[in-house]
Amino acid sequence: MTRLAPGENPPQFVIFSFDGAGWHDRWTEFREAAAQVDARFTGFLTGIYLLTDEHRDAYTGPGHPTGKASVSFGGDAATVTTLVGDLNAAYLEGHEIGTHYNGHFCADNPPGGASWSTADWNSELDQFFGFWNGWQEIDGLQGTPPLAIPASEVKGGRTPCLEGSWDQIAPAWAAHGLTYDSSIPGSGIAWPRQEYGVWEFRMQTTSSPTLGSVMAMDYNFWYKFNKAKNEPERAPEIRAAVLETYRHMYDAAFTGNRAPVLVANHFNQWSGNAFNPAAKDFMLETCGRPETICATYQDVIAWMNLQDPAVLAELQARPAVY
Ligand SMILES: [Zn+2]
């Protein structure tokens, strides 16, 4: 990491992130791809993936009955211990683990994040870190290898469905030592700023040559493509459209304001596995390019903190590109 001289162009950062981050095959696939091109990426972990189904009652989502969630719990003991192994291996390779919170409660299963209070968010994060530190005891798996990542390494996250009342969640971020967020819908591709007490990497809207104006996230691409209908036979077409969108975002930023490009995904196999392969194609073809660094959120924050404040202010003042 270097400090830019005034007038010097910053590197083109690309930040790959995956919400949920609880799928062994996907961890393996993306760790292998990242190793080929010297990329680091971020997994936003759904905290209840650390709870076996049998111990689901350790979680109570704000406003919801104990043991309930909008997504699955962690499965059996073998699945949870495999996940812990994946998280440990990813962390040792330089990848980052953040939070996707716990129960994935959104507008479709209210109350969701949009209506939660500060106390609700504090409960959600207290439980996330409680599972992080206490999963072995909760699950009765004391004999297995521990999660070897200090909880203090979790510095940010993405809220489920990008929902939240930001002035309500901000005090919970502060109370849990979080220093960044990447949930708030933004406009184009722009440099992050301090908002709500954290570095806010706003979600990016782009003028995709294949999908039109769209927020750059896998589900949003899918919705734009066919209203998120499951059409596995069209997976190659979707994959190509998404890859072209990522290429467009990269070109717009690289030749424009050089703001970090966010490639925001879930680990998923939606519509015949159309989306994760597009992200992997883009990682493999992009991360080794000149002046390009595929980095984690915390890497980019460290880089921004290293810069002369006047240099950083000039970057932040650059208009968004689309
Ligand atoms: Zn999600």
The number of angstroms, rounded, from the C-alpha of 176 to the middle of its chain's C-alpha atoms is 18
Other CB atoms within 10 Å distance of the CB of residue 55: 22
For residue 306, the CA-to-ligand 1 centroid distance in Å is 31
For residue 19, the CA-to-ligand 1 centroid distance in Å is 5
For residue 113, the CA-to-ligand 1 centroid distance in Å is 12
Domain CATH code at residue 297: 3.20.20.370
Largest pairwise CA distance in the chain:
58
Give domain status of residue 3, yes or no: no
For residue 264, the CA-to-ligand 1 centroid distance in Å is 10
Give domain status of residue 2, yes or no: no
For residue 318, the CA-to-ligand 1 centroid distance in Å is 30
Give domain status of residue 7, yes or no: no
Identify whether the C-beta of residue 182 lies closer than 8 Å to the C-beta of residue 18: no
Residues with CB under 5 A from ligand 1 (ion): 19, 160
Six token digits for residue 297: 């959120």
For residue 312, the CA-to-ligand 1 centroid distance in Å is 31
For residue 37, the CA-to-ligand 1 centroid distance in Å is 27
Q: Identify the sign of the CA torsion 254, 322, 160, 312.
A: positive
C-alpha span between 317 and 311 (Å, rounded): 10
| Pairing status of strand 292-294 against strand 12-20 | parallel
The residues, ordered by sequence, that sit 6+ positions from 94 with a Cβ below 8 Å of its Cβ are 40, 296
Give domain status of residue 322, yes or no: no
Give domain status of residue 1, yes or no: no
For residue 158, the CA-to-ligand 1 centroid distance in Å is 8
The CA-based angle 179-180-183, given to 5 degrees, is: 150
For residue 71, the CA-to-ligand 1 centroid distance in Å is 9
Give domain status of residue 6, yes or no: no
For residue 301, the CA-to-ligand 1 centroid distance in Å is 23
Q: What is the pLDDT along the chain (322 residues), one digit of tens a residue?
A: 889 998 899 999 999 999 999 999 999 999 999 999 999 999 999 999 999 999 999 999 999 999 999 999 999 999 999 999 999 999 999 999 999 999 999 999 999 999 999 999 999 999 999 999 999 999 999 999 999 999 999 999 999 999 999 999 999 999 999 999 999 999 999 999 999 999 999 999 999 999 999 999 999 999 999 999 999 999 999 999 999 999 999 999 999 999 999 999 999 999 999 999 999 999 999 999 999 999 999 999 999 999 999 999 999 999 999 9
C-alpha span between 280 and 27 (Å, rounded): 12
As for how many domains the chain has, the answer is 1
Six token digits for residue 239: 């994959």
For residue 128, the CA-to-ligand 1 centroid distance in Å is 15
Give domain status of residue 187, yes or no: yes
For residue 316, the CA-to-ligand 1 centroid distance in Å is 28
Kindly report the pTM of this predicted structure. Answer: 0.97
Residue 201: helix, strand or coil by DSSP? coil
C-alpha span between 252 and 25 (Å, rounded): 32
Radius of gyration, CA atoms only, the chain: 19
Which residue segment(s) compose the domain that 257 sits in? 12-317
CA atoms within 13 A on the CB side of 170: 11
Give domain status of residue 93, yes or no: yes
